[in-house]
Amino acid sequence: MSLNKRKWLKKIVFYTTISLGALIMIIPFLWMLSTSIKDQGETMTLPPQFIPETITFINYAQVAESFPILKFLFNSFFVAVTSTLGQLLLCSMAAYAFSRLHFKGRDTLFFIYLATLMVPMQVTMTPQFILMKYLGWLDTYQGLILPGLFNAFGTFLLRQFFLGIPKSLEEAAFIDGASHFRVFFQIILPLSKPALATLAIFSFMQSWNNFLWPLIIVSNQDLMTLPLGLSILQGRWATDWNLLMAGVVISVIPILAVYLFAQKYFIKGITLSGIK
């Protein structure tokens, strides 16, 4: 076999494998969309029908009538945006301290901080709940938002990016009399837009899809986020899967919009931050 034929064969195998992987990944989303436009009878037919005989969009209207979905969307959006902005501010400030400031025990403290990534969220959830109870923050936006503002992964990601910024820029600013705060806000942050956009996407997706923490901290329906509100559609003995999938489609749209809006920053941030 000639060299050109081998190259073409490798390309065919590579692109075939990638295409199959992409198809496997997208099938659940297509099935979710298909179920959301079926009536109740077609969701349980055997064999399953991927393309429904009768396409109906009434499920989306029924979801809006079943519970206050606009309120749930507002709660999810408010919590996700606030958590994302808070993480960007706190993680960037911590990353600047760990990458630019020199103090005794800096690297040791950073590794200890980074080691918290190995602690499962389920381990810290009970102490956080007790703390929220003592503070009187159960069934409040503070209880939903504040525990998620501190993110070791975000600090690590931004620190790796900050280390790649030339120190000569801030040294020139210090010579001109700039303080650390001015260097941070006027030099470091403007140069870190790709990494900040990457962290923003991760933070927004994590907060938007978070179900377990709102489940234990919120019992008031007026404060429920969309993932928690969708659980109302799942009954004890039976579930209207067409309505549930319609609600899930609604919850996925903001995630897709955020990713498409910041896709180029996401890819560039992954490349430059050293995460492989």
**In a domain? residue 264:** yes
**In a domain? residue 56:** no
**In a domain? residue 20:** no
pLDDT in tens, 129-153: 999 999 988 888 999 998 888 888 8
**In a domain? residue 214:** yes
User: What is the number of structural domains in the chain?
Assistant: 1
pLDDT in tens, 191-222: 888 888 888 888 888 898 888 889 899 888 88
pLDDT for res 240 = 72
pLDDT for res 276 = 44
pLDDT for res 58 = 81
pLDDT for res 236 = 54
229 CA to centre of own chain:
18
Question: Can you list the residues of the chain whose pLDDT is less than 50?
Answer: 275-276
**In a domain? residue 5:** no
**In a domain? residue 268:** yes
Output the average pLDDT for the chain.
83
CB 34 within 8 A of CB 16: no
Alpha carbons 84 and 78: distance in angstroms, whole number:
10
Domain range for 123 is: 67-272
pLDDT for res 91 = 92
pLDDT for res 235 = 61
**In a domain? residue 9:** no
**In a domain? residue 193:** yes
pLDDT for res 78 = 93
Q: Residue 219 is part of a domain; what is its CATH number?
A: 1.10.3720.10
